[in-house]
Amino acid sequence: MLNIRVFTLYPDLFPGPLDIGIYKKARKKKIWDLKIVDIRDTAKDKHRTVDDKPFGGGSGMLLRPDILSSSLDRYINKKNKKERNIYLSPKGKQLDQNFLKKISKEKNINIICGHFEGIDQRLLETRNIEEISIGDYILSGGETASFVFIDAIVRLLPGVLGNKLSTIDETFEKFLLEYPQYTKPQIWEKKTVPEVLLSGDHAKINSWRLSQSEAITRRQRPDLWKKYLNKKNEKH
C-alpha cells in the first residue's frame, strides 16, 4: 500500500477531489491511503501562529521552520531513507510522467503544502526534502498542487485503472501526444469519424494513429518532437 501524508494549513480541503470514483475505490481496497496533518497543531501560541516576516525584508510571510519541523518530526521517521518527503514549490524540479512513474513505486510519500511566500530555507537543508513544482506558474498554496500530484500518482498504482494498457498508450509515454479519439455516434453534427477506425484493420489503425500523433506533437510541442526524433534516431 502507498501511504500518502499531507502537511497542510487547510486540512478541511482534504480528501476533496481525491474522494471520488477510482480513487475512493482504491482507498477502500487499501491500494493507497491518505493521512492529513494540520501544521497548526504544533503551533506554540494561542493564536496558533505558523508564519512570520522574512529577515531582510520583502513582502509576505514565511512558514517558521521550528513549527513546521516539529510537525514533520512527529510523523516522519528520519532514519527511514525510503520515505520520500516532497515540498511542493514553484522553485522545484518540474514534475513529469517519468518522475511520477518512479515515485508511484514508493511506500511512503510525505507532501508539504506551503503558503504565503513559502517556507524557511533551513528546513529544506536539514530535513531530507525534495522540491517539486507542478509547472511554471504560481499558486497561492500547495494544496491544489498536491491534488494534481496525488491524482497523477494514484492512477499509476497497480489495480487502480481498469485497463492496464490505459497508462501505456498515453501522451508523454513515447514523447508523443495522443492521437485523436472518437466514440458513438458514428455521425455527429454531420461529421463522421475517420474511415480507417471502422476498418477493423489494426495495422492500418496503428499506423494512422502514429502519424496523427506525430503531426500533433510536431505542431503543438516542438520540445517533445525533438526528443522523439532523437530517440527514433538512436534506435536506427
Q: 51 phi and psi, to 5 degrees?
A: -130, 165
Rule CB under 6 A: say whether 118 interacts with ligand SAH. Answer: yes
Q: 24 phi and psi, to 5 degrees?
A: -65, -45
In angstroms, give the least distance from the CB of 114 to ligand SAH.
2
Rule CB under 6 A: say whether 91 interacts with ligand SAH. Answer: yes
Rule CB under 6 A: say whether 8 interacts with ligand SAH. Answer: no
Interface residue with ligand SAH, options 141, 155, 208, 214 (CB under 6 A): 141
d(CA 106, CA 161): 18
In angstroms, give the least distance from the CB of 92 to ligand SAH.
7
Interface residue with ligand SAH, options 82, 137, 184, 200 (CB under 6 A): 137
Compute how many other C-beta atoms are within 10 angstroms of the C-beta atom of residue 66: 14
d(CA 211, CA 205): 10
Interface residue with ligand SAH, options 5, 84, 115, 127 (CB under 6 A): 115
d(CA 178, CA 92): 27
Q: Choose the stretch contacting ligand SAH; rule: CB under 6 A; options: 9-17, 21-29, 107-115, 150-158.
A: 107-115
β-partners of residue 51 are 63
HSE at residue 214, side-chain half, CA atoms within 13 A, is 9
DSSP labels, 80-102 = -TT-EEEEEEEEEEEP-HHHHHH
Count of residues touching ligand SAH (by CB under 6 A): 18
**43 or 129: CB nearest ligand SAH:** 129
Rule CB under 6 A: say whether 138 interacts with ligand SAH. Answer: yes
Interface residue with ligand SAH, options 113, 124, 150, 154 (CB under 6 A): 113
Rule CB under 6 A: say whether 57 interacts with ligand SAH. Answer: no
d(CA 172, CA 37): 33
Q: Which residues bind ligand SAH (CB under 6 A)?
A: 88-91, 113-115, 117-118, 133-135, 137-139, 141-142, 145
